[in-house]
Amino acid sequence: MLEKIIAESVKECLKSLYSVDLKEKTFWPGKTNKEFVGDFTIVVFPLLSYTKTSPVKLATDIGEWLVKELKFVSEFNIIKGFLNIVIKNDYWLEYSLNFNEVNLRPFKDNASRNIMVEFSSPNTNKPLHLGHIRNNLLGVAISNILSFVNEKVMRVSLLNDRGIHICKSMLAWEKWGNNITPELAGKKGDHLIGDFYVKFETEYRIEVENLVKSGLSVDEASKNAPLLIEAQKLLKKWERGNKKVIETWSLLNSWVTKGFDETYQKLGVDFDKTYLESDTYLKGKDIILKEMSKGTVKINEDNSVSIDLSDVGLDDKILLRGDGTTVYITQDIGTAVDRYNEFKFDKIIYVVGNEQIYHFKVLKEILNKFGYNWSDSIEHFSYGMVELPEGKMKSREGKVVDADDLIEEMINTASSKAKELGKLEEASESEFSSTVSKIALGALKYFILKVDPRKNMMFNPNESIDFNGNTGPFIQYTFTRINSLVKKADEKGLQLKIEDTSDILLTNKELELMKEIYDFKNIVEDAANSLNPAAIANFIYNLAKSFNSYYQETPILKEEIKKIMLFRLKLASNVALTIKVGLSLLGIEVPDRM
């Protein structure tokens, strides 16, 4: 890694010329701004307090040292306190000819951490929707990126399989379902149960409206609607272990989880472990009951249990309801403690939407007050909501973009566009189907992941499937274009080996491509530190765009001088490998041809 070699040489320079012994990271070289000549830049201002000299003098000393000691440094220039270092073309040529996947991995000199990433975590009362898709795609991408920089990653999900919302769909199925099953309905189980959740909310709203007409306030009507009271009674029966209720709950949940698994498979999502709220909520309850004896929590007049967080700027938080039933935070406490005891993670990242920012502040503070010194290792990866041109989605009203429907729509759109553009005309039926699926899911994943995850985003399916512009299909097509070149070279018996590199004069665009590829590992490292897959997505797009510009202007297989032709082919294959690895970090596959 050039940066490390340069930094070590600068360290030697400072020790030799100034008797100063500093850590390499103090003067780690960064990428030179495009407006200046150079490849790497060292800022000398932070070093002046150690060397007691002028910025220009220090930069000159370091620059001259690097030119003398490092064979790959050709020259340097100084802009005030910025030392710009130029790398020889010969180095970039050798780098390109010996390039492989190892070159794409960031340099890492510290020990790997145990990092747990929780994502998906759906409720078992409705199917996955577009919001869940963003959650899952971010969870997969973050896990892939952290693994790529050699962290030990554990991918987990929490199945929210109990609580009042689950009882609502259970009650609706019991009242209006007539023992319907997914098979009888011809629907996936998660879709069927989701229909009953919507049915409950529809009937519940009617009851509330009628109670308001009878003279109750909206708040009173909402709390006293017969359906809600029935659902609350059902929850109490469940928590007491009522056999009939548990049997119904188990049956309906099995339908839903089977439906989830089918959707996960389509999206390429999997987990190392799935936790169940029905297992962890009791552990959370036990922890809270123990804290009662310590005086950490308080019992209120209605017998509810809460904790006062006003000393840290938060509210009084209910931990157990007056009737003894648990709330969301209860199971989150139990789950977090259970996970730490099991895996001793160094960090746990919760991939959850930004509407839960307050919830995770509360969780960290509660665990801290309960004496868990690892509470600071909790990180809430807060991402923005996905909106549609028509506005926000509402699960209770059934106004959501179902994940399965969206995937099917994407595949149909990709199929139509491929046929319209005359692509894949010679493909077999199975190859056409496989390729179209990769294009469709690549379009979906890329469109979502290219946006800064902290921002809200607008999703437009038609915009995402475009073979031009900042889209997944455009990048995939660039890969297949290069793949086609390499296959043609193979058919001609050409091997990408060049014994004699003399007379290979690199063009500016070739140098730019090499340096762009070199920068990939730094982009990945930054993406891992900031948990931002969008940085990788947009880097890959810019690389694909740069290559296409180069390809339009530069002959490759038609180049008459063989060694130049082989070099350009190797450079193209390096671009393809970088694109493939980059897309794989985003969970996107590349087709063989398009």
- Quick check: 564 pLDDT over 60? yes
SS3 391: strand
Average pLDDT of the chain is 93
Most confident of the following: 328-332, 415-419, 540-544: 540-544
- Quick check: 399 pLDDT over 60? no
Per-residue confidence (pLDDT) for residue 351, from 0 to 100: 98
Q: What are the strands of the beta sheet with 298-299, ordered from one edge?
A: 298-299, 305-308, 316-320
Structure tokens belonging to residue 562: 């063989």
**Any idea which of 110-114, 219-223, 394-398 has the lowest mean pLDDT?**
394-398
Please state the length of the chain.
Answer: 594
Per-residue confidence (pLDDT) for residue 367, from 0 to 100: 98
Reported as a pLDDT band with limits 50, 70 and 90, residue 27 is confident
**Any idea which of 9-18, 388-397, 469-478, 564-573 has the lowest mean pLDDT?**
388-397
Q: Given the structure tokens 């890969």, which residue do they identify?
A: 479
Report the pLDDT averaged over residues 96-115: 89
Residues paired with residue 320 on neighbouring β-strands, in sequence order: 305, 326
- Quick check: 400 pLDDT over 70? no
Instruction: Name the percent of the chain lying above pLDDT 70.
Output: 98
| Alpha-carbon gap, residue 454 to 456, rounded angstroms | 7
- pTM for the complete prediction? 0.92
Two domains, one topology: 119-397 and 403-585 = no
| Alpha-carbon gap, residue 132 to 352, rounded angstroms | 10
Per-residue confidence (pLDDT) for residue 496, from 0 to 100: 78
252 CB-near residues (< 8 Å, 6+ apart): 124, 169, 170, 173, 189, 193
**Any idea which of 227-231, 361-365, 414-418 has the lowest mean pLDDT?**
414-418
For 119-397, CATH number out of 3.40.980.10, 3.40.50.2000, 3.40.50.620, 3.30.1370.60 equals: 3.40.50.620
| Alpha-carbon gap, residue 291 to 29, rounded angstroms | 51
| Alpha-carbon gap, residue 158 to 411, rounded angstroms | 29
Residue pLDDT, tens place only, 453-510? 999 998 877 778 777 889 999 999 999 999 999 999 988 888 778 878 888 899 999 9
Per-residue confidence (pLDDT) for residue 452, from 0 to 100: 96
Reported as a pLDDT band with limits 50, 70 and 90, residue 397 is very low
* CATH architecture type of domain 403-585: Orthogonal Bundle (1.10)
Structure tokens belonging to residue 214: 């009878």
| Alpha-carbon gap, residue 281 to 326, rounded angstroms | 7
563 CB-near residues (< 8 Å, 6+ apart): 498, 500, 501, 503, 504
Residue pLDDT, tens place only, 150-188? 999 999 999 999 989 999 999 999 999 999 999 999 999
Domain boundaries, the chain: 2-87, 119-397, 403-585
* Residue among 437, 407, 406, 432 nearest 419 (CA): 432
**Any idea which of 55-64, 245-254, 495-504 has the lowest mean pLDDT?**
495-504
* Residue among 450, 133, 365 nearest 269 (CA): 133
SS3 126: coil
SS3 422: coil
Residue pLDDT, tens place only, 185-227? 999 999 999 999 999 999 999 999 999 999 999 999 999 999 9
Per-residue confidence (pLDDT) for residue 327, from 0 to 100: 87
Q: Identify the helix (H) or strand (E) that includes residue 22.
A: none
* Residue among 277, 296, 289 nearest 366 (CA): 296
Per-residue confidence (pLDDT) for residue 398, from 0 to 100: 45
Instruction: Name the percent of the chain lying above pLDDT 90.
Output: 81
Q: Any idea which fold 2-87 has?
A: Gyrase A; domain 2 (3.30.1360)
Q: Given the structure tokens 């989830």, which residue do they identify?
A: 260
CA atoms 59, 60, 63, 68: torsion sign: negative
Residue pLDDT, tens place only, 61-82? 999 999 999 999 999 999 989 9
- Quick check: 393 pLDDT over 80? no
